[in-house]
């Protein structure tokens, strides 16, 4: 009986460790643990995810640019950019003439992203910086579009993060986010379709679309109510001056 009990305890302990560190990527253990885990995983993150640049151009950058027409030089923020999946998908699009700021708290993930920027010669299109999604260091209405892919559920407060994204998005600007389809493993952290619609509506977002995207995620589009002219180079330069640019040598924190 004692051996059986020990086996049960070991199995439950193993499951708990797997759930806390692997399945939920430390989300229930606090921001420091999440960042530390991503620093550890960074070198093999892309191999696990198997991102495809051509597919991301087709399914991410093309639809976003279509929603921003006739503007082809948007100023875009990518929240929790990780190893830099989204910014290169924009920069590699032949139609794109704008600029993307990618922010993350994991220094090592940003270093991997910086390697991609250098390898693709995207430095004129992409700036990377180490910042907290809970307190975006940007003025109101600073971006034409804001993206957050496969990250909301791992942020300390997804609702607060979305509030920050809505704040820095200009009226008429486009929000692109994702939500998990299977919410069983992350209770309280993964809003379903109905909840995300209600939250975005409360943030003055309109034209909300939720659609199947990948096997485990839905893609969410929304537009901030109102309309102002697309942001010009003056706004872009002012925001960029407030950041420490990531170079091929690494990442600096503002």
Mean pLDDT by 10 residues, the chain (254 residues): 80 82 80 86 83 92 94 94 95 94 94 94 93 91 95 90 96 95 82 91 95 89 89 73 48 41
Phi and psi torsions of 52, nearest 5°:
-125, 120
CB count, 10 Å around CB of 30? Answer: 11
| For the chain, domain boundaries | 2-48, 50-241
pLDDT at residue 246 in the model: 36
Between CA 40 and CA 246 the distance in angstroms is 20
Between CA 153 and CA 151 the distance in angstroms is 6
pLDDT at residue 242 in the model: 67
Between CA 101 and CA 235 the distance in angstroms is 13
pTM: 0.88
pLDDT at residue 252 in the model: 44
Between CA 103 and CA 240 the distance in angstroms is 12
Instruction: Say whether domain 50-241 belongs to CATH 3.40.50.150.
Output: yes
pLDDT at residue 79 in the model: 97
- Can you tell me whether residue 104 is helix, strand or coil? strand
């Amino acid at each position: 009986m004692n051996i059986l009990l020990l086996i049960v305890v070991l199995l439950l302990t193993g499951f708990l460790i797997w759930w806390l560190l692997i399945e939920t990527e430390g989300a229930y253990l606090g921001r420091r643990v999440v960042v530390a885990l991503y620093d550890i995983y960074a070198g093999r993150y892309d191999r696990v995810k198997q991102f495809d640049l051509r597919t991301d151009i087709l399914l991410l950058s093309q639809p976003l640019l279509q929603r921003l027409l006739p503007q082809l030089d948007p100023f875009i923020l990518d929240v929790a950019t990780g190893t830099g999946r989204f910014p290169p998908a924009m920069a590699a699009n032949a139609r794109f003439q704008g600029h993307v700021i990618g922010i993350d708290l994991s220094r090592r993930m940003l270093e991997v992203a910086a390697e991609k920027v250098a390898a693709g010669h995207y430095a004129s299109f992409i700036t990377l910086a180490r910042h907290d999604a809970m307190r975006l260091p940007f003025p109101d209405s600073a971006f034409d579009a804001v993206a957050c892919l496969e990250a909301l559920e791992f942020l300390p407060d997804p609702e607060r993060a979305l509030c920050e994204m809505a704040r820095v998005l200009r009226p008429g600007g486009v929000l692109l986010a994702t939500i998990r389809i299977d919410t069983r493993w992350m209770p309280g952290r993964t809003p379903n379709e109905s909840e995300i619609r209600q939250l975005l509506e409360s943030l003055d977002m309109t034209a909300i679309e939720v659609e199947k995207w990948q096997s485990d995620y839905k893609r969410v589009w929304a537009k901030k109510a109102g309309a102002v002219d697309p942001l010009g180079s003056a706004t872009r330069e002012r925001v960029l001056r407030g950041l420490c640019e990531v170079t091929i040598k690494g990442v600096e924190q503002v």
